[in-house]
């Protein structure tokens, strides 16, 4: 028995948010390597330009928290530059740990604004493009195993990722019958800069210790899973996918 590991995404047009680093950048690179045209979206212009230049993609500065009008303009720029996207990876997210009782409100609201509202606005900005696709169409929502796991200091973060999972289930029943595969991908410990903006020193130290105890997988492993599922025949949807280090269980 032979196994074909080819990820052929030729003729696909992809959008990846949060693509200036981490899982987003790795995903953009993997999709481009598989033949897709890729628009990289994010707030850090220099990093976006670097990634786009190296993969032959389109860089569009975008802030998923800036509201629906901003994202509608971003979607129009993608269409003008690459055509209608048929593969949207909503990856932009923030993780800011702190004990709930002492957490800065701006950190709590930032997680909700980015991980929930921003993801919803991203999906809404591109849903018409996905529905118009002449062939496979994928909406990939990057969640986290935190949706069903709890750790001290991460109650709000876990709540936002539970919302991502719920959104995925709801959109599948709406969009699946119309030909759009809605997929929720939940990474475990992954090497990235997620959490770099934490204000709480104890939370930063706890996260660093956990990362030492549980070796992270590279972001490219998560990107490989995104590409694999997107390359499957249009008749099948891997609806929920958990990708984590073997030692994490």
pLDDT in tens, 192-219: 777 677 766 777 777 766 677 778 899 9
Would residue 7 count as lying in a domain?
no
Note the pLDDT tens digit of each residue in 62-73: 999 999 999 999
Would residue 137 count as lying in a domain?
yes
Could you tell me which residues are beta bridge partners of residue 184? 141, 240
CATH of the domain at 181: 3.40.50.720
Would residue 6 count as lying in a domain?
no
From the candidates 30, 85, 157, 230, give the one annotated as an active-site residue.
157
Would residue 119 count as lying in a domain?
yes
Selection from 69, 74, 157, 143 nearest residue 113 by Cα: 157
Q: What angle do CA 61, 26, 193 make, to 5 degrees?
A: 75
Tell me the residue range of the domain where 142 lies.
Answer: 13-231+238-243
Would residue 248 count as lying in a domain?
no
Tell me whether residue 154 is one of the annotated catalytic residues.
no
Would residue 171 count as lying in a domain?
yes
Note the pLDDT tens digit of each residue in 140-180: 999 999 999 988 889 999 999 999 999 999 999 999 999 99
Would residue 130 count as lying in a domain?
yes
In what helix (H) or strand (E) does residue 166 lie, and over which residues does it extend? helix 155-175
Selection from 247, 246, 213, 241 nearest residue 89 by Cα: 241
CB-CB contact of 57 with 32 (8 Å) = yes
Residue-level pLDDT at 192: 77
Q: How many domains does the chain have?
A: 1
**DSSP class of 59:** E
Would residue 45 count as lying in a domain?
yes
Instruction: Give the Cα separation of 7 and 215 in Å (integer).
Output: 27
């Amino acid at each position: 028995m032979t196994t074909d590991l080819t990820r052929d995404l030729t003729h696909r047009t992809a959008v990846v948010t949060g693509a200036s680093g981490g899982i987003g950048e790795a995903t953009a690179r993997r999709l481009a390597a598989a033949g897709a045209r890729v628009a990289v979206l994010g707030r850090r212009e220099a990093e976006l330009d670097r990634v786009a230049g190296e993969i032959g993609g389109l860089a569009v500065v975008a802030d998923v928290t800036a509201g629906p009008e901003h994202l509608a303009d971003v979607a129009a720029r993608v269409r003008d530059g690459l055509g209608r996207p048929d593969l949207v990876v909503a990856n932009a997210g923030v993780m800011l740990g702190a004990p709930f009782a002492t957490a800065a409100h701006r950190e709590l609201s930032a997680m909700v604004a980015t991980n929930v509202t921003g993801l919803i606005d991203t999906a809404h900005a591109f849903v018409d493009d996905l529905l118009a696709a002449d062939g496979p169409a994928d909406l990939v929502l990057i969640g986290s195993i935190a949706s069903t796991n709890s750790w001290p200091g991460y109650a709000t973060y876990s709540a936002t990722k539970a919302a991502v999972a719920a959104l995925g289930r709801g959109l599948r029943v709406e969009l699946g019958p119309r030909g759009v595969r809605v997929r929720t991908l939940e990474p475990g410990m992954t090497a990235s800069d997620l959490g770099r903006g934490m204000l709480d020193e104890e939370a930063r130290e706890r996260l660093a210790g956990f990362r030492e105890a549980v070796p992270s997988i590279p972001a490219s492993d998560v990107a490989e899973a995104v590409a694999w599922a997107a390359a499957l025949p249009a008749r099948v949807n891997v609806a929920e996918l958990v990708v984590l280090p073997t030692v994490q269980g």
